[in-house]
């Protein structure tokens, strides 16, 4: 009777899992973290070379997780299962940070909201605009994501006002990313911020902040006293 072939990589994979369970990501190098993820999708091959290749191509774990599923499928020959796992990790992290932001006064916990925004928008290759709608306790009620082009997002102040009224929001925070990696606001960013503030003000809805994010920086209009 034929016996199943033993996976020659099983001992290495077991040791990777044990190291992670003992020390978390602090116990692994970045390529080993990617390798560990890939072991669950590619069961019988040595995935260490692939993990190193992906990290070398993208330059960092952050940029790898920002890659689209289409890029990973088309450019690197990853299977659907591996691409799904990588995308799932990124989106689970984003959902986790979103839910953490819902449970706090975001004005007293700027780090939590910035972490969420950077995970949601910071690595995008096109400019994307978000509006966060807050209740009277400054807890996050919901948010809208408005896709843009590579260098600008078209946002309509009236739509922001209508959504704020419909959700019974008492305040909003504006946010968008700068794909260039430079977080300083443009004249158009400043103009848009003032326009939305003027539209919200007559009905008593506050504009708390406008936050610009990139992978390695952020800019807050409120902290610079530009509101």
Pair 38, 50: CB distance under 8 Å = yes
Position 2 scores a pLDDT of: 44
Position 216 scores a pLDDT of: 83
Position 152 scores a pLDDT of: 62
pTM of the model: 0.76
CA-closest candidate to residue 125, choices 207, 44, 66, 189: 66
Q: Which two tokens stand for residue 61?
A: 């774990």
Position 199 scores a pLDDT of: 93
Q: Is the dihedral of CA 3, 7, 8, 14 positive or negative?
A: negative
pLDDT tens-place values along the chain, 227 residues long: 444 445 666 788 889 999 999 999 888 999 999 999 999 998 878 899 999 999 999 998 888 988 888 888 887 778 899 999 999 998 898 888 888 777 788 888 888 889 889 888 877 888 899 999 999 999 999 999 887 765 666 677 888 999 999 999 999 999 999 988 899 999 999 999 999 999 999 999 999 999 999 888 999 999 999 98
């Amino acid at each position: 009777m034929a016996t199943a072939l033993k996976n020659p990589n099983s001992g290495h994979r077991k040791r990777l899992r044990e190291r992670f369970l003992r020390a978390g990501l602090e116990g692994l190098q970045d390529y080993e973290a990617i390798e560990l993820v890939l072991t669950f999708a590619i069961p019988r091959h040595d995935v260490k070379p692939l993990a190193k290749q992906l990290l070398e191509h993208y330059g960092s774990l952050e940029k790898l997780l920002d890659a689209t599923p289409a890029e990973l499928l088309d450019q690197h020959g990853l299977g659907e299962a591996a691409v799904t796992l990588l995308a799932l990790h990124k989106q689970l992290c984003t959902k986790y940070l979103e839910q953490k932001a819902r449970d706090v006064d975001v004005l007293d916990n700027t780090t939590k909201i910035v972490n969420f925004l950077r995970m949601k928008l910071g690595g995008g290759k096109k400019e994307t605009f978000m509006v966060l709608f807050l209740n009277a306790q400054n807890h996050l009620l919901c948010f809208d994501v408005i896709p843009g082009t590579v260098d600008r997002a078209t946002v309509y102040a009236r739509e922001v006002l209508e959504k704020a009224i419909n959700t019974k929001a008492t305040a909003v925070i504006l946010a968008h990313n700068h794909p260039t990696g430079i977080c300083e606001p443009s004249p158009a960013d400043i103009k848009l911020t003032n326009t939305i503030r003027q539209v919200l003000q007559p009905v008593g809805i506050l504009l708390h902040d406008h936050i610009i994010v990139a992978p390695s920086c952020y800019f807050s209009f409120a902290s610079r006293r530009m509101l």
